[in-house]
Structure 1
């Protein structure tokens, strides 16, 4: 039981720390907390206290806690876990409004409250498993059906993959709990629940694999953010030094070239004048790049206002008309007309243009790029999808790194995605990239729901560019 409760409470802590803002994640954390509390009560009774007694380290107040801890842990696990599972499934599958879900959370707690009043706790808790199955069984079955249906109806490949992972993580241990902790007890198999350690260990293994490969409950996003911020701090200090040094030296070159130009013009030295023009042009270009680098090194300041998302997308697409025509690429935009977001329109449009520009460069001629946006649960979800060359697994490790680029350094300095990432982060959102060599790239942007001010009522429409 020690391993069981430790694994479950570690998962609880991780979910709370990394993704507390998402309501469904909080319910998932409550599932593992309730299951872990049951294990803790058993571990206290069967492992901790016997060990303390063996080494004569026990005390009266510790002995007095044994039965209460066991009772509370057992009741929390037996009654709280199925309730938390149903609420997690309801919030995660997003079949009801936020107001309706709050009401359901109260209504669904009534059986648990009734069980608290009718369950004997003296001398130890005595569960009525016949009565428990009357509501626990339907809760587990309904929650399982909701998760399966949410997976089956999902059209986005990325979201479908994540929902499959959630389904594989949640259903096996909860169904095993239903069988071992409720049904088998009716047939006097009192210790079948001890095999829960197997399902919990498998759960932890699968959880770790999915976190590493795909990212769930905000873990991968957090890891990428830490890595990104570390790289950006290094970038900032380097840019400041580089910008200061080069700007001073190039400023001197510019002044000297102006003076030489004045002298040479009097002597009609045409060749010198041409060379001077090249010097001036080069120095001005480098000075311009230094200003851009300095801009990227500074913190992003937002000037937010209410802006239709469709307007930002349309303007971004229009600005790319020449690039699109050169490669005969169509952009299909499916965005709700009445979805208004609170953002800095200048920075957001620049971000969209960066993403679209990357998609155009990666796409083959006579292909298409798809841009979609919709409300999913408590988030505004947006996706830029192309079927271009894609990104290799090796390069995917570095796509967020400042100055990383595969395009060559003549016209691209590798700051585009870094800048996009920071703009979206400044707006309280998350930018994620998934890609496979030869199968295109998907850039997903998720914002919290409070960044929108109008709910979606109208059908989305396609715009062709």
Structure 2
């Protein structure tokens, strides 16, 4: 059983160290730690620490169902709002806390297994149901694959624990449940280990290569610089030759001037296009300073007021906090503007764009949600790729969200996009905790 303890604690440590600011990872680590302490019982009893063995048994039986249920609530993203999740966590803690406080542990532990089964079974089943429902509702192909893997890892073992430990403790107390449960634990850890190498599980991926999108961004940025330099040189030659021809043909062939004007106009248009591409894909150098995030959002909305009024778009704001961000306000304003324009173009006349600022422990999230046409599932996973666009317009280069990705990546944060066809799109800016100041 000691191997069982170390295996689960190691998994909890990896998850926590991979991203300690992730609420999902913290609750996964909490559940794994609560489950792991069950492996210490025999060791503690063997060395005469019976009282400690009683305590760890109580903690194992009460905190494991609570931990997996709260993890499933967070991971499924089916309970929106930080405050709603907080109230739910407190409400669900009442029963396990009561059992911990009311269960005698001296001279020996006297667990009421019937009472335990009465509340732990709904907790375990609700956790499994949340994972399955979140998998069923997910439309993003990459996220759906990850949810499928998580469900495959967690659900069979949770049901086995419920049946072989909780149910068996009531109907067949003489059963050596751990012998059978350990097989499911080995199954879960094996699948998790394999999938961390291949796909990544709960944000953890054991690999040697960097994020392929990051490599793509660097390659495109380098290519855009070279393309910009080359085309500018060639257009410069065209401009000089055009000026020389104008002077020579002004008197001898006035009609030729109209053709030269076309050449000049086309050259200027090409130069403008290249400059726009380069401005979006150049290697971003941040000039960081403090700025009020809510004020910058309001300023960006004011800049796009004409576009909103033209389409009769209603903009709703919900600013639950007013943080100061240490970052580059110019680049972030440009990134936010790209998202606002995308949202405005996606909604029909009279549509709604909802903007919210929500505090998340030491950090903050900025959400821009529209009720537009949404993005197809097969397109959603490609939206950050340079030159990929869901719009069929020659004036669109598919660089807006690539630029947003670059700005947030350089700033130490990240950006997520959630969307369903005909239901709308939500863009979430996640700011690094180190760059946020409150008060």
Q: 1:253–1:181: structure 2 CA closer, same or farther, 3 Å change rule?
A: same
SS at match of 2:299: helix
Q: Which residue of 2 aligns with 1:22?
A: 22
CA deviation string 1:79-110 (max 9, x = no partner) = 775687568988977749xxxxxxxxxx9xx9
Task: Provide the aligned C-alpha RMSD in A.
Answer: 5.3
Matches within 5 A, 1:397-436: 397-408=381-392, 410-436=394-420
Give the Cα separation in 2 of the matches to 1:245 and 1:77.
69
Give the Cα separation in 2 of the matches to 1:447 and 1:142.
36
Q: 1:15–1:384: structure 2 CA closer, same or farther, 3 Å change rule?
A: same
How far off is 1:381 after superposition?
Answer: 1.9
Q: Which residue of 2 aligns with 1:271?
A: 255
Q: Which residue of 1 aligns with 2:134?
A: none
Give the Cα separation in 1 of the matches to 2:277 and 2:183.
54
2:306 is the counterpart of 1:322: yes
Give the Cα separation in 1 of the matches to 2:13 and 2:155.
21
Q: Which residue of 2 aligns with 1:257?
A: 242
Q: 1:336–1:278: structure 2 CA closer, same or farther, 3 Å change rule?
A: farther
Q: 1:300–1:129: structure 2 CA closer, same or farther, 3 Å change rule?
A: farther
Which one of 226, 243, 264 corresponds to residue 211 of structure 2?
A: 226
Which one of 293, 297, 304 corresponds to residue 309 of structure 1?
A: 293
1:431, 1:446 within 8 Å by CA — same for their partners in 2? yes
Aligned length: 392
TM-score, with length taken from structure 2: 0.68
CA deviation string 1:385-426 (max 9, x = no partner) = 112121112212311110111323521111100000111122
Matches within 5 A, 1:168-207: 188-197=173-182, 200=185
Structure 1: 5+ residue stretches without partners: 46-66, 97-106, 120-127, 152-156, 456-465
Q: 1:130–1:80: structure 2 CA closer, same or farther, 3 Å change rule?
A: closer
Q: 1:139–1:79: structure 2 CA closer, same or farther, 3 Å change rule?
A: farther
Q: Which residue of 1 aligns with 2:110?
A: 130
Q: Which residue of 1 aligns with 2:79?
A: none
Matches within 5 A, 1:23-422: 25-26=25-26, 28-32=28-32, 35=35, 78=57, 81=60, 95=86, 128-130=108-110, 188-197=173-182, 200=185, 217-218=202-203, 226-265=211-250, 267=251, 269-336=253-320, 338-408=322-392, 410-422=394-406
SS at match of 2:211: helix
Q: 1:366–1:409: structure 2 CA closer, same or farther, 3 Å change rule?
A: closer
TM-score, with length taken from structure 1: 0.65
Deviates more, 1:284-293 or 1:185-194: 185-194
